[in-house]
Structure 1
Amino acid sequence: MIIKDFYPAFQRKDSAAMQACYAPDARFADPVFPGLNYEETCAMWAMLVSAGKDLELTFSDVHLQGNRASANWQATYTFSATGRKITNNIQANFELRDGKIYRDKDEFNFYRWAQQAFGLTGYLIGWTPFFQKKVQGSACRSLEKYMAR
């Protein structure tokens, strides 16, 4: 199953192997990157694994039912913008097509993540849609800059 190829590649920080798991018209979404196409998704993973010098990843509960799959994964890393340590628990849901990931939606508690990433600021306003949009905008600008190099 492709999901069991994807996460070990992620653990190795092998973005090329991760990219090979996606269909050419795949889409990705999570609370920080809410709507990425294939090229953006591939660049996002490459950017994240290259920046994640201390990234540690575990995954569990991989399930497949028909063309749908799911997994739980946990990423522990230092958030480069603030230097704060993050432990993020993610529930991933996939739609598969022709043995590849066609849709990938990762869900996590954005407020909990914001508290870890931004400390007091995250605690005070990390729950607001305004703050989430601000983080999304910053993440998208970082991705655009990464893709332009």
Structure 2
Amino acid sequence: MSDAHNALITQFYTAFQRLDADAMAACYTEDVVFSDPAFGELRGRDVGDMWRMLTTRAKDFSLTFDNVRSDDRSGGAHWVATYLFSATGNTVVNDIQARFVLRDGKICEHHDSFDLWRWSRQALGTKGLLLGWTPLVKNAVRAQANKGLKAFQASR
């Protein structure tokens, strides 16, 4: 167990609870790699911008985290985000497992895993229930997420 790395991961999620994307991004290396089922893989500046976009748009947001753990090179945590999905007005409770690769006191890789079908059933309603498990919806979710990120970046 690495106390410094546990503190870094705790710092990241505490900033997330405050919707402080700049403080979250400060926990990453400049060449960070992020992945999750919604955005796919993002790198570098795009990762911080993703958090800036998500925290700026957050409605009825809350976050809990636990099971923070780490060693000299890696770590992980469990977190649950509850929020209003703006496209449909549906409440989503997203249960996520995170794993990290750590370097020089920062996060250089961040990989979030969650059940995209479960997320789509909550976020998209009946469409997500019926089609959320299909590659068509998975690809559409990813395309929409990345389109939103590019539009957010262009507006800044």
TM-score by length of 1: 0.98
Corresponding position: 1:69 with 2:68: no
Corresponding position: 1:99 with 2:116: no
Shift of 1:2: 1.1
The letter of the residue matching 2:129 is: Y
Unmatched runs of 5 consecutive residues or more in structure 2? 1-6
Q: Which one of the candidate residues 112, 117, 128 is aligned to 2:118? A: 112
Large movers: runs of 4+ above 6 Å:
none
The letter of the residue matching 2:57 is: A
Sequence identity of aligned pairs in percent? Answer: 45
What's the counterpart of residue 147 of structure 2? 141
Could you report, residue by residue, the CA deviation over 1:33-91 in whole angstroms, capped at 9, with x for unpaired residues? 11101211101001101100311000000001221000000000000111100000000
Aligned residue-pair number? 149
Corresponding position: 1:3 with 2:9: yes
Q: Within 5 A, what are the aligned runs for 1:119-134?
A: 119-134=125-140
What's the counterpart of residue 88 of structure 2? 82
Corresponding position: 1:27 with 2:33: yes
Secondary structure in 1 aligned to 2:40?
coil
Moved more, 88-97 or 50-59: 50-59
The letter of the residue matching 1:75 is: A
Secondary structure in 2 aligned to 1:112?
helix
Q: Within 1, Cα distance between the matches of 2:11 and 2:58?
A: 20
Q: Within 2, Cα distance between the matches of 1:39 and 1:53?
A: 24
Q: Within 2, Cα distance between the matches of 1:135 and 1:24?
A: 26
Secondary structure in 1 aligned to 2:41?
coil
CA RMSD of aligned residues (A): 0.6
The letter of the residue matching 1:12 is: R
What's the counterpart of residue 53 of structure 2? 47
